[in-house]
Amino acid sequence: MSDSITKPRPISGFPEWLPAEQAAQDHWISIIREVFTSYGFAHIETPAVELTEVLSAKGVEQKEIYALTRLAAEDPEENRYSLHFDLTVPFARYVALHQGQLTFPFKRYQIQKVWRGERPAQGRFREFYQCDIDIVGIDKLPIDYDAEMLDAMGSLFTRLGIGDIVFRVNHRKLLDGFYANLGIKDDLRPAILTEVDKLEKIGRDGVQASLSSLGVDAQAIDRILNFASSTQEGHILSDHLKSFGIDDPTFNEGIDELCSIFNQVVPKDGIKLLWDGSITRGLNYYTGAVFETQLVGTESLGSICSGGRYDDLCGRFSKTRLPGVGISLGLSRLLSHLMGTESLDTLKRPSPTQIVMMGMDASQRKRDMTIAGKLRGNGWNVELLPAGKLKKGMSLANKRGAPYVIIPNEDGSFAWKDMIEGKQEDLDEASLLAKSPE
């Protein structure tokens, strides 16, 4: 056995929370589940892996996909899988596979880790949690459900209370009609959308250079960038979009659908809806409304929530037309930014322990274990300490952040100490067990 010691290091791009931070994440996940469930979304999970050929066909760069291999694999067939980079592609396969057992429109939520081979940066990870909601129909899915995506996420952000949020919304039909009007061919549009999607990262000059290298003429580039730089709130959205003078039926259809979405979403305090011509969503499966979300004051963090409408994502797996719409919250990105802020500090406890029960007399250990067990049965999280010194036990209770301490007295009663209020009372066993969590 070697005497050398490997120095422990964090794994770049893979977040690892301390117990208090993990407690905050767990609490948020419980709120997310509550909100999604309140809108009628059913919970599912899918495997961490999908066929590599399926993942690489959906518009993500292959260098971002983590392939799954077994070091001692002998059969090449074993190396056909990769870790999923989002939850939408796995969901498409899931719906196509189980469509005979599902009720449509099918509404689901997923909260799972995903993996992307990106360069780690502030708020950008290689392994992170996504929280998705999607609604899928057969043949048709009313535009009303696009509005429900924004309404549900707006309700969630209101519950989380993290500050003002801007939903930046665009529509692929607007973009398709706009580019068609410019005479840009269909096969060039995905590449243009990908470059326009980088506008905030590389600026107008950077996108202009990229579009020029694609062969787009200078006049078309100028119109594309002017459109992408435009924003408008919903109350005069139709007039604003018509002012671009685009005579195209697809563009006009995009106006109608987008205005329908804006008109349905119920206003919420701190939530703003904004049409933004720069929003394209680089993945090529989107066909209608597309969404990105920013936390006001921390725009440099990027989008914390995004998604959109897709009409043919399941086409690879099923001949049945299964249109859908979905939106995804990048939980790890948001949490990493909020760690250490007031938004999370009240949720961060170093331990789930609610009661620390002192072990004062080793001969009464079985009694104390019985009482601790009954308290747990009543819903408390109880940590029973071995027999030892009171001072040491109280120090541990403070480090745990436990709101209550129980100290067995010599006369058989129990001291119930409220660590927050600083109050203490003596209780008999029946009165102690009558205490219930708030």
pLDDT (average), residues 366-389? 94
- pLDDT above 90: residue 414: yes
Helix (H) or strand (E) holding 147: helix 144-160
pLDDT (average), residues 236-265? 94
Backbone angles phi, psi at 209, to 5 degrees: -65, -40
Q: Would you state the structure tokens that stand for residue 206, as one six-digit string?
A: 């950077």
Confidence bin at 325 (pLDDT 50/70/90): very high
Confidence bin at 356 (pLDDT 50/70/90): very high
pLDDT of the residue at 64? 87
Measured between alpha carbons, how far apart are the two ends of the chain, in Å? Answer: 52
pLDDT tens by residue, 18-36: 888 888 899 899 999 999 9
Confidence bin at 227 (pLDDT 50/70/90): very high
Mean pLDDT of the chain: 90
What distance separates the 2 farthest-apart alpha carbons in the chain?
Answer: 91
pLDDT of the residue at 263? 94
| Per-position DSSP letters for 344-376, written without gaps between them | HHTT--S---SEEEEE--GGGHHHHHHHHHHHH
Provide the residue type at 159 as one letter. R
Please enumerate in sequence order all residues whose Cβ is within 8 A of that of 164, keeping only pairs 6 or more positions apart, or say none: 270, 271, 272, 295, 296, 297
Q: Would you state the structure tokens that stand for residue 221, as one six-digit string?
A: 């580039």
pLDDT of the residue at 209? 93
- pLDDT above 80: residue 59: no
pLDDT tens by residue, 419-430: 999 999 999 999
Distance of alpha carbon 383 from alpha carbon 247, whole angstroms: 70
Nearest residue to 150 via CA among 323, 305, 285, 359: 305
CATH number for the domain running over 355-433: 3.40.50.800
Confidence bin at 345 (pLDDT 50/70/90): low
| Per-position DSSP letters for 379-430, written without gaps between them | T--EEEEEE--HHHHHHHHHHHT-SEEEEE-TTS-EEEEETTTTEEEEE-HH
- pLDDT above 80: residue 271: yes
The better pLDDT of the pair 185, 274 is held by 274
What percent of the chain has a predicted confidence (pLDDT) above 90? 63
- pLDDT above 80: residue 1: no
Q: Lowest-pLDDT range, 67-76, 226-235, 252-261? A: 67-76
Contact (CB, 8 A) for 293 and 307: no
- Give, to the nearest 10 degrees, the angle between helix 199-213 and helix 218-228: 160
pLDDT tens by residue, 132-183: 999 999 999 999 999 999 999 999 999 988 889 999 999 999 999 999 999 9
Distances (CA, A) of 74 to 53, 71, 78, 240: 20, 9, 8, 61
Confidence bin at 2 (pLDDT 50/70/90): low
